[in-house]
Amino acid sequence: MSAARVKQTRVSLLRVGILLVAILVMAAGVRWIMAPGLAVAPTPEASVFAGYVDVTATPTYQFEAPADSPQSNVILAFIVAGKENPCEPTWGTYYSMDAAATQLDLDRRIAQLRSIGGDVSVSFGGQINDELAVVCRNVDALTDAYASVVDRYTLSSIDLDIEGPALADIAALERRAQAIAALQAEAVAGGRELQVWLTLPVATQGLTAEGVAAVEATLAGGVDIAGVNGMTMNFGGSKSAGQSMAGAVEDAASALHRQVVAAYAGRGIGLDGEQAWRKVGITPMIGQNDLPGEVFTLDDAAAVNTFALDNGVGLLSMWSLNRDATCTSPLPKTVPVVQTSCSGIDQDGRSFADVLANGADVAVAEPSASGAAQSQVDPVVVDDPDTSPFPIWDPVGTYPAGTRVVWKREVYRTKYWTSGISPDTPQSTEESPWTLVGPVLPGDKPAPLPTLPANTYPTWKAKSVYNKGQRVQVGRVPYEAKWWTQGQPPGEPVAGGSPWVLVSPG
């Protein structure tokens, strides 16, 4: 995981030069596609599956601990413009990237997923809030904003989810294309790849006129689009009476396929049917859709999976992995109103991700059988307090639910109150009280110690005798005696182990 890019102003002439090089490279590729007598690049046999994850929804979806390979390649949503600074990327306006790192452990969780073979993409935009290009009107600042996200999360693929008023904003479309094209050119010059998927709403007749214009403007701006991902959901009146959701999805995808062929033809690029399908994405909304009468079932998912694999679509996704479960009490299993943490239908123990990803290309992560990731670190690793972002686990410490600790260079979080159980202890019959969050990252520093109001406990005194269980404060930091002690200051390391343990709030 690389550190965030140092903020700087790019030189426009340099950008232009890089962009010209990339255009020449892409032009050569276009001639190669169109030149008679030359073979077209081979098409991968399987579609790629990657599910969306709503990063800011509660309860938090633990994408870093995938239940199986279909959940191992994720698209994290959504980066949008900040409320105070329109050129600042934020997660749903709630968290800056730094805040997401500390409050959501996002950087660490991404590192954890990648460490077991998974990967992430990031989606910009979404239905609510402002996509960056809509309100950040300086192209250099906009390019820096996109780049800061790509660099921080070391992305090789991004998703531009353009819908609502943003879809009709021509100036924003042009700014976005200019900024993204510059980033792609920079990636090409550096020997890297930056795939760009354009996610747009569709009806059964395909893209709206505004959606077609968005594709054309993005291509005209020099962006090498990996594909156009149709939001095959909420069809409303475009879905005929009695038509299944799978049938509506297939009609929408087929119409989108024709529109992709036409859009590229308009740029002088001839795509055959197979090549065009590789540039089509299908993203249904699982279970209950926003429109009351539309429910995407597991049978629909199986039919869409077959359709996607038969045609060789480039991307198969779903909204969202957070929702891929049957609702539980106090909700009934079947709920006619959209929920953020369940599908609204009785899935009978099955997973939409498993059904949609069946036979598709997925990241091969190595999740544990229980669905909770386990540490694979060297058992002799010794933790350094100076580079540990949280207190090091203590065998006689007490840890309320939600407490984070470091153990053998990994960060763990408690699911419920626990004491005496090592975070990396294999659990054969009982669920572990610990969840692996991710590795200690380069540059990590100790987090501030927990504090309590002054005089919550007596102030520690060097001459006083303390027995096991007695609590004291050093300043406002609380400690508890593990055994009889006198004269040993709390919080200071000592050979054989400190007689004091930090009191975790909760």
pLDDT digits (tens, 9 = 90+) for 128-141: 999 999 999 999 99
**Nearest to 280, CA basis, from 226, 218, 318:** 226
Cα 470 from Cα 314, distance rounded (Å):
62
Decide: 121 and 76 in contact? Cβ < 8 Å: yes
Banded pLDDT at 364 (limits 50, 70, 90): low
| 487 DSSP assignment | S
Query: pLDDT value at position 45?
Result: 56
E strand segments, 192-316: 195-203, 206-207, 225-232, 280-284, 287-288, 295-296, 315-316
Query: pLDDT value at position 235?
Result: 98
Domain boundaries, given as residue ranges, for the chain: 46-357, 369-447, 448-506
Query: pLDDT value at position 396?
Result: 84
Please determine, for residue 168, whether its predicted confidence score (pLDDT) is greater than 80: yes
Structure tokens at 222: 């020099």
Please determine, for residue 44, whether its predicted confidence score (pLDDT) is greater than 50: no
Query: pLDDT value at position 365?
Result: 66
pLDDT in tens, 259-312: 999 999 999 999 999 999 999 999 999 999 999 999 999 999 999 999 999 999
Q: What is the mean pLDDT of residues 427-437?
A: 82
Please determine, for residue 394, whether its predicted confidence score (pLDDT) is greater than 60: yes
Q: What is the mean pLDDT of residues 313-324?
A: 98
Mean pLDDT of the chain: 89
Q: What is the mean pLDDT of residues 448-475?
A: 94
3-class DSSP assignment, residue 500: strand
Q: What is the mean pLDDT of residues 246-257?
A: 98
Active-site residues, by number, are 163
Please determine, for residue 374, whether its predicted confidence score (pLDDT) is greater than 80: no
| Whole-number percent of the chain with pLDDT over 90 | 79
Write down the pTM of the prediction.
0.84
Banded pLDDT at 425 (limits 50, 70, 90): confident
Q: What is the mean pLDDT of residues 377-394?
A: 83
Cα 230 from Cα 206, distance rounded (Å):
8
Banded pLDDT at 106 (limits 50, 70, 90): very high
**What CATH topology corresponds to 369-447?**
Seminal Fluid Protein  PDC-109 (Domain B) (2.10.10)
What are the residues whose beta carbons fall under 8 Å from the beta carbon of 87, sequence distance 6 or more? 81, 132, 136, 138, 141, 142, 144, 145
Cα 444 from Cα 463, distance rounded (Å):
36
DSSP letter string, 51-76: EEEETT-SSPP-TTS-SSGGGSEEEE
Neighbours of 316 (CB within 10 A): 30
What are the residues whose beta carbons fall under 8 Å from the beta carbon of 54, sequence distance 6 or more? 61, 77, 78, 320, 322, 340
Identical fold, 46-357 and 448-506: no
DSSP collapsed to 3 states, 93-109:
CCEEHHHHHHHCCHHHH
The CATH number of 46-357 is 3.20.20.80
Query: pLDDT value at position 465?
Result: 97
| Whole-number percent of the chain with pLDDT over 70 | 87
Banded pLDDT at 23 (limits 50, 70, 90): very low
Q: What is the mean pLDDT of residues 152-179?
A: 98
Cα 406 from Cα 439, distance rounded (Å):
9
Query: pLDDT value at position 370?
Result: 35
The pairing of strands 73-81 and 195-203 is unpaired
Q: What is the mean pLDDT of residues 488-499?
A: 86
Query: pLDDT value at position 496?
Result: 75
Q: Specify which residues 74 forms β-bridges with.
A: 51, 120
Domain 448-506 of CATH type 2.40.10.120: no
Banded pLDDT at 397 (limits 50, 70, 90): confident
